[in-house]
Structure 1
Amino acid sequence: MNKKYILSFVILFAAFVLAASPVETKTISGYITDSKDGESLPGATIFIKDLKIGSSSNNYGYYSISLPANNYEIVFSFLGYTDRVIDIRLMNDTTINIEMVSASEQLNEVVITEQSANANIISSQMSVNKISSKTIQAIPALMGEIDLIKALQLLPGVKFVAEGSSGLSVRGGSPDQNLILLDEATVYNSGHLMGFFSVFNNDAVKSVELYKGDLPSKYGGRLASLIDVRMKDGNIKEFHGNGGIGLISSRLMLEGPIAKNKASFMVAARRSYADVFLLLSSNENLRNNVLYFYDFNGKVNYSINKNNRIFLSGYMGKDVFKNGIFGMTWGNSTGTIRWNHIFHEKLFSNTAFVASRFNYDLGIPEGNSRAFNWGSSLTDYNLKSDYTWYMNSNNTITFGISMMHHTFFPGTIEGIGEESFITKYSLPNNYALESAIYLGNEQKLGSVFILKYGVRVSMFNNIGSATIFNYDNAGSVIDSTTYSSGNFFNTYTGFEPRLGAVFIVNEVSSIKASYSKNIQYIQQAQNSTAGSPLHIWFPASPNILPQIGHQIALGYFRNFKSGMFETSAEAYYKKTNNAIDFKDHADLLLNKYMEGEMLRGKGWSYGVEVMVKKATGKLTGWASYTFSKSIREIDGINDNKSYDSPYDRPNDVSIVANYILNKHISFGATWVYSTGQPVTFPVGRFEYNNTIIPVYSDRNSYRMPDYHRLDLSVTFKPENKSGKKWHNEFNISIYNAYNRHNAYMINFKSEPDTPDVTYAEMTYLFGIIPSFTYNFKF
């Protein structure tokens, strides 16, 4: 990497910032929170009516804005809350903590205000979607299980990987190109029950943001998207709880103060009981099966003083599947310690130590000649520190540093018991250090132009002990090199610029553009798009170059009827260098020569996303349409010709609606349509040594049937007696209401008496599935 790039950027950065520095100012700062439970409100809008300028609170609800000394009327607003208006004579630096009151919801309608309505117009960020836990709860659910990931799949530019799967393809990217964070900890597998449900308990979630390309400079390491999930801090004023009992799982969340207005806690637990229903089966084999998942969320926070606050949060989840001859478990665990510190009213910091682990184990129990246990895992430890400098009313500067240590344990298999003939075999561990520094600025140039620019400088080091194999062009091993423990034997560095611009056409419309470069140093080995957790994460190495992505995007945003309707249209183009795919019939599991199965090339995708959203009134929801293409060109695949990627689905439609009939009854509906998934089919066969060998078509030259589905729900809230704290809610959902048989896989078979005749057999997972859930809160 050329050091001149970094030096040039720093010089230009300083020149831009200093050129826009205004006259001497005074600062007003503080936290914006919910008046009822004390939860911070990230993204709340602060609007100075006299100057027609604004700002927003950060991820922890902190805000800071500098203004010339004068008298001001300041409006604080947040979607679903009543505006808070204060008049202030700003002559000195002032701290004002704002408590927002939830808007009166006569029919549980969302209330929108002029300032909060147009927040999407003046925001410097594009290609981002925010979705609330309340919105997620209103979406009809599979088997009654409220699912954050399924809700994200309904957004423009986001496609599900397979029927029922928790995997996401964002703007043509693969699932491993999504950075999924839970309180800043990486979640490597987002699915329960083979991906049919996500690992996120909606009762424990405060906010969700999906970035589809225009990532802030502080984030990196993935090419497609960032899914930033934040857990609730816990009610700091009163003890409360809520939960639910459904057909497949139950859940409970408790929160309350440890020291009122000083410290609080939140704990949540969830457990499925599919195995209980299996006991009712007339099939003895099914009765012997064990199938369930569970997860726990926990968080405590303590406000030491006005300038220091500590957070401790964690997650642990596990899936278990067992029958008489086979068993498999997998799960995630995360832990985060964070320290928020205010150096002074203009400088806010967040320092965190984060741990994350994903593992799976499978095997055959003792007492069998094939008894074995096979385990694999990935463990991260990350130390990071992020800073926000509210330099003045025109410049908000962010900078920081992070260092993450990866331990890749690709797998060990060993026999169990004296009868097993399986000998122990281990793949070598891999170790790596991924680090980065970043610098960025959001700069207002006058009243109609906002410029956002920054750079992330990343570094990736492979660390011994390790054995690196050298391959010829055919992927066969030539020789190897061994490195001792702790030896830094391979280094990649990356210069990742980010640039965005906003032109505010008027109060209700704007044009936005962005460019970003991202580098991904770790990826996943997977040869199927189904929800299996048996995937192996592996690092860049001397043989595997990091993937590099470039994305440009242009968008137009327009609001109507005082913000009742939000519309947007975005076009994007992405190019990926060093894209990875695998040889036909690649052997990926327990193969220490797996790097020899990989092929490298390029990929590109482009598309247009259109969305109309209604966020107020009895009827709320959105409709979106996405046209997109995702293409790869890999040497050694498809005769070196380009082909559709597995995630290419040109047409995608989502319609989401929630209608509140009255304060007791509401209805929900979603309808989705997408082009069928690309697949490779056999087109012929020949016999060789009495064995039938299939001949396949060009890579992904056929498609599954188009996918479409309608889901419906109705929610009933009984009249609550005056003064009673216990609230009940009953939900009935119908998944796949018109019983569409959407293809999950297609197998090709032939009958013994007609071996020369081959026919296709389609497998589908779900027909119509009704469900019932009882929810409560107190």
Structure 2
Amino acid sequence: MEWLHRTQKVNFTYDATLPVGNTYRGPSLKGMTLAQALSALFKDSGINYSVNGKYIILKAAKQEKAAPHSQPQPHKASLAPPRRHTLSGYVRDTSGETLINATVWDETTGTGTTTNAYGFYSLTLPGGEHHIKFSYLGFADQKISTKLESNLRQDVALKEDNRLPEVVVEGDLNSPLLNTQTGKRSISQADIKTGYALLSSPDVVKTLQRTSGVAEGVELVSGLYVHGGNNDENLFLLDGTPLYQINHTLGLFSSFNADIVKNVDFYKSGFPARYGGRLSSVIDVRTTDGDMQQYHGSVRLGLLDGGLQFEGPIQKGKTSFNIALRRSWLDLITRPVFSYINHHAGEDDDKINLEYFFHDFNAKVTHLFSDRSRLSLSTYWGQDRLSTRDEYDYSYGAMSYYTNDGRRVDTGNHDTEKDLTKNHFNWGNFNAALDWTYILSPKFFANITGVYTYSLSKLRSLEDDRVTDTNGNESSRQFTEHGYHSTINDVGYRMAFDYRPTPRHHIRFGHDFTLHHFRPQSNDQINIFSNDGEGDTTKVSSKSHLAATELNVYAEDEMTLSNHWSLNAGMNMALFHVQGKTFMNLDPRAAVKYQPNRYLSFKASYTTMTQFVHKISNAYIDLPSDYWVPTTARLHPMHSHQWAAGVYLQPNHHWLLSMEGYYKWSSHLLQYTNWQGLEPPANNWDTKVMEGHGRFYGLEFDAHYATHRLQLDASYTLSWNKRKFEEYFPDWYYDKFDNRHKINASVRYTFGKGTSLYAEWLYHSGNRLTVPTQYVNYPDLGDGGEEDFLFERPNNVSAPAYHRLDIGVDIHHRTKHGHERIWNWSIYNAYCHLNTMWVDVNYDNYSGTFKAKAKGYIPIIPSFSYTYKF
């Protein structure tokens, strides 16, 4: 009766002497109409009922049944709505690590929720007996029964289920079928460590490149072009702090160490109001806290890099630590190689040295003050260093001269030319987040984070060409030393509140405040020129810096409107102050879901996004000469509107199918007007760019199939990416990464006894190129006519289609001491298809036609890694 009162909004009127306290033991009432439910509920109960509007009138069976349309009779007792109480707590694994997006489901009422980014859940339920199920992918379900008579704190520790590669959870509230947002995907550490990894180093960004609606850009590079957006339009957050340099080795590896990553929430549309600052995507990366109970870790040795991860308790059950270190050792290979080459080089050969390495270091300390209060300090330090040296010595023959009588006289002197070229590049990040979470009440969760971000790009180059005679006297010299560095300092805080008054309302609100200090380009240059004792020295230096203040205030409410409808609505207000000017933008967000049954749902969303910072670059790979700058008083912040809609079908627990469509309009996009080179100038940079528009739309199809041993994933993207910069070209033209068709198909199979195989095939239309279409004679304006190429429009030709096959195998072995060994073999581009890197275009004067030849150089790349877990 209480369940019908709550779900059907009806009231029961009855005499207090009726036996309504008896336990109902008939069939489930779920899915029945009200008439069917009443018939089943009171069958053989000794109670008759009649319906009058929203009133159900009960009488003893021996009494005459009330007329169907009689007025309600005076009653002695009425069933009041039961009091509601809140069940809340943390969901962790057995080591104390919190689990993000774990499902908490009440089987009694058919309501549930998921844990937030800190593993906390809150579920308000009517008083009485409840059966709660806790579920998380890769862990065994846990069920508890509890009688709610007041607010109850219930922390749960789930156990890993290692018997299967995964556990399929029915009713996962984080599933695309059930959540309200469009374009969201949650990725766990297991998804990143699939069995294949480029150079056997699992990578967060390359995992995201496999998703529909994402273009990877240049081959091997960790580019991320989401729904047509540029690489700088993605917001990367590491434990709540923004990350500006997200790649190592010019993009070969990303800055995220998979050994310490716990969860990644990736949004490509339907952005919640709590995120802002970028146009195209949000990548929210959370790292693991560390084991509160025991020490353990892992060592990984790969082809080009290796890693160490170690975690454990500082104070058992109260304080934990987790550290992870990753370093490449390419420099350990190149040093002896170049030393050998230089040692055996000829006297007049160049002496060359090249050294490169990267490292990143993550550290996290977590302390539990109480069941309600938790503090953590998370830090990241990543750095790349590249040094080159080219030294050349050449001695001329003996110097001679002729006397007046024609005799040749040899002086015996020799001139020596010494040329030295050195380059040193250094770039990276340092991030820190001091995070405090506090449970204000079972329904109210607070999080306050202090953040600091430092980003550095630095280069130093030297060219020294000098000529000396036999006595060491310098006859001429040309010396140039050039230095450049770019830095960002961000300091601020985040305040976020999570309030769940009922299971049908999940309210989030808060604000972010950041002080930005950009030094985009500081240059210094020394030039020395001398000849026969006379010389000249010049020094040039320049600095630029911009300070800005950014404030974001947001509120959002995820509401369950009925059994079929849910809504997420919110607003993000951004204030950005720079150069005495304040920009204010209101970005509304809304997402709605309609679910007619448990197998099918329809969703739609509308979001606006504003971006105040820009990355200035003239290349499609990450270079240390790139730099970030804020919007200035001369420019507008970049802005986008995005509409998305989709249908999601889960016919059974093996299959999940989806189709999403999107349309995105971007304005005030920036592009350099005419600068060429790798160091675009930062001084008055806003006078050297032009503003334009972007129009991006497409369809995405995804299919997922899973059994105990087999997992199949397939996606297809059909997209159009167009831009318009009227100063550059008066009409719309296709973007460089307008890949019309993209297909990803992958399979993962576990053979048993710890052996798993992974294979993925990738296909997409070729990147676009700008090639000439005619060779014409220009008019004679008095200085003679000229012949030159004519370009019809930008990016007017597509390169040949790109495709490759990647495969990998993992072999797990557990030692007698309980430690685990993992051997991984991976093969990139298994059938060695040389995909196009660029195209050479030549004009044939004889035939009057253009001939193009595609150039590809990246072959099959095998790799191996060994991991030891202890």
- The TM-score with structure 2 as length reference comes to 0.80
> Where do residues 320-719 of structure 1 align in structure 2 (5 Å cutoff)?
320-324=385-389, 325-365=422-462, 369-415=479-525, 423-463=539-579, 489-561=580-652, 563-585=653-675, 589-638=680-729, 640-683=730-773, 684=775, 695-718=790-813
**Aligned residues of 2:672 and 2:688 also touching (Cα < 8 A):** yes
Partner SS, residue 752 of structure 2: coil
Distance 1:161 1:495 in 2: 32
Query: Displacement of 1:210 after TM fit?
Result: 0.7
Query: Displacement of 1:367 after TM fit?
Result: 5.2
Q: Given the superposition, is the C-alpha separation of residues 416 and 262 from structure 1 closer, same or farther in structure 2, using an over 3 Å criterion?
A: farther
Structure 1 residue runs without a partner (length 5+):
1-21, 464-488
Partner SS, residue 166 of structure 1: coil
User: One-letter code of the match for 2:425?
Assistant: M
- The equivalent residue for 2:149 is 91
Q: Given the superposition, is the C-alpha separation of residues 746 and 446 from structure 1 closer, same or farther in structure 2, using an over 3 Å criterion?
A: same
Distance 1:305 1:685 in 2: 79
Distance 2:373 2:351 in 1: 55
User: One-letter code of the match for 1:771?
Assistant: S
User: One-letter code of the match for 1:58?
Assistant: N
Partner SS, residue 250 of structure 1: strand
Q: Given the superposition, is the C-alpha separation of residues 680 and 116 from structure 1 closer, same or farther in structure 2, using an over 3 Å criterion?
A: same
1:679-727 CA-partner distances (Å, limit 9, x unpaired): 2124447799999865434111112221111111122223x343x1332
Q: Given the superposition, is the C-alpha separation of residues 685 and 354 from structure 1 closer, same or farther in structure 2, using an over 3 Å criterion?
A: farther
> Where do residues 53-64 of structure 1 align in structure 2 (5 Å cutoff)?
53-64=111-122
Query: Displacement of 1:583 after TM fit?
Result: 2.2
**Structure number with higher relative contact order (C-alpha < 8 Å, ≥ 6 residues apart):** 1
- Radius of gyration: which is bigger? 2
Distance 2:463 2:167 in 1: 61
- The equivalent residue for 1:166 is 222
Q: Which of the numbers 227, 246, 249 marks the counterpart of 1:190?
A: 246
Q: Given the superposition, is the C-alpha separation of residues 33 and 765 from structure 1 closer, same or farther in structure 2, using an over 3 Å criterion?
A: farther
Query: Displacement of 1:403 after TM fit?
Result: 0.8
User: One-letter code of the match for 1:267?
Assistant: I
- The equivalent residue for 1:27 is 86
- The equivalent residue for 2:337 is 280
1:350-372 CA-partner distances (Å, limit 9, x unpaired): 10111112211112148561222
Query: Displacement of 1:757 after TM fit?
Result: 10
Matched, 1:302 2:367: yes
Q: Given the superposition, is the C-alpha separation of residues 421 and 450 from structure 1 closer, same or farther in structure 2, using an over 3 Å criterion?
A: farther
Q: Given the superposition, is the C-alpha separation of residues 548 and 24 from structure 1 closer, same or farther in structure 2, using an over 3 Å criterion?
A: farther
**Aligned residues of 1:117 and 1:564 also touching (Cα < 8 A):** no
User: One-letter code of the match for 2:238?
Assistant: L
Partner SS, residue 122 of structure 1: coil
**Aligned residues of 1:381 and 1:406 also touching (Cα < 8 A):** yes
1:65-112 CA-partner distances (Å, limit 9, x unpaired): 111212111111111211111111111010000111112x33x42111
**Aligned residues of 2:196 and 2:807 also touching (Cα < 8 A):** yes
**Aligned residues of 2:776 and 2:789 also touching (Cα < 8 A):** yes
Distance 1:422 1:767 in 2: 47
Q: Given the superposition, is the C-alpha separation of residues 283 and 692 from structure 1 closer, same or farther in structure 2, using an over 3 Å criterion?
A: farther
Partner SS, residue 156 of structure 1: coil
**Aligned residues of 2:815 and 2:821 also touching (Cα < 8 A):** no
Query: Displacement of 1:287 after TM fit?
Result: 6.0
Q: How many residues align?
A: 723
Query: Displacement of 1:30 after TM fit?
Result: 0.4
Distance 2:824 2:676 in 1: 46
- The equivalent residue for 2:864 is 772
User: One-letter code of the match for 2:165?
Assistant: E
Distance 1:691 1:286 in 2: 44
1:542-563 CA-partner distances (Å, limit 9, x unpaired): 22101111111111111133x2
Partner SS, residue 737 of structure 1: coil
- The equivalent residue for 1:46 is 104
Query: Displacement of 1:743 after TM fit?
Result: 1.7
Partner SS, residue 480 of structure 2: coil
> Where do residues 68-217 of structure 1 align in structure 2 (5 Å cutoff)?
68-103=126-161, 105-106=162-163, 108-116=164-172, 119-217=175-273
**Aligned residues of 2:273 and 2:572 also touching (Cα < 8 A):** yes
Q: Given the superposition, is the C-alpha separation of residues 182 and 692 from structure 1 closer, same or farther in structure 2, using an over 3 Å criterion?
A: farther
1:351-409 CA-partner distances (Å, limit 9, x unpaired): 01111122111121485612221111222112110001111222111110111111111
Distance 2:583 2:805 in 1: 47
Query: Displacement of 1:60 after TM fit?
Result: 0.4
Query: Displacement of 1:745 after TM fit?
Result: 2.6
- The TM-score with structure 1 as length reference comes to 0.89
1:419-478 CA-partner distances (Å, limit 9, x unpaired): 795633324211111111111101111222111111111111004xxxxxxxxxxxxxxx
Distance 1:569 1:533 in 2: 39
User: One-letter code of the match for 1:280?
Assistant: V
Query: Displacement of 1:113 after TM fit?
Result: 2.6
- The equivalent residue for 1:254 is 310
Distance 2:460 2:234 in 1: 30
Q: Which of the numbers 345, 355, 366 marks the counterpart of 1:290?
A: 355
Distance 2:250 2:265 in 1: 24
Q: Given the superposition, is the C-alpha separation of residues 702 and 181 from structure 1 closer, same or farther in structure 2, using an over 3 Å criterion?
A: same
Partner SS, residue 447 of structure 2: strand
Q: Given the superposition, is the C-alpha separation of residues 585 and 367 from structure 1 closer, same or farther in structure 2, using an over 3 Å criterion?
A: closer
Q: Given the superposition, is the C-alpha separation of residues 765 and 383 from structure 1 closer, same or farther in structure 2, using an over 3 Å criterion?
A: farther
Distance 2:631 2:316 in 1: 49
Q: Which of the numbers 744, 747, 750 marks the counterpart of 2:837?
A: 744
**Aligned residues of 2:569 and 2:591 also touching (Cα < 8 A):** yes
Q: Given the superposition, is the C-alpha separation of residues 380 and 761 from structure 1 closer, same or farther in structure 2, using an over 3 Å criterion?
A: farther
Q: Given the superposition, is the C-alpha separation of residues 579 and 418 from structure 1 closer, same or farther in structure 2, using an over 3 Å criterion?
A: closer
Q: Given the superposition, is the C-alpha separation of residues 514 and 117 from structure 1 closer, same or farther in structure 2, using an over 3 Å criterion?
A: closer
How high is the sequence identity, in percent, across the aligned residues? Answer: 30
Distance 1:747 1:594 in 2: 32
Distance 1:363 1:692 in 2: 41
User: One-letter code of the match for 2:762?
Assistant: V
Q: Which of the numbers 383, 396, 402 marks the counterpart of 1:318?
A: 383
Distance 1:393 1:276 in 2: 57
Partner SS, residue 138 of structure 1: coil
Q: Given the superposition, is the C-alpha separation of residues 49 and 536 from structure 1 closer, same or farther in structure 2, using an over 3 Å criterion?
A: same
**Aligned residues of 2:521 and 2:682 also touching (Cα < 8 A):** no
Distance 1:101 1:340 in 2: 25
Partner SS, residue 206 of structure 2: helix
Partner SS, residue 370 of structure 1: strand
Partner SS, residue 121 of structure 2: strand
Which stretch shifts more, 274-283 or 447-456?
A: 274-283
Which stretch shifts more, 195-204 or 270-279?
A: 270-279
**Aligned residues of 1:83 and 1:100 also touching (Cα < 8 A):** yes
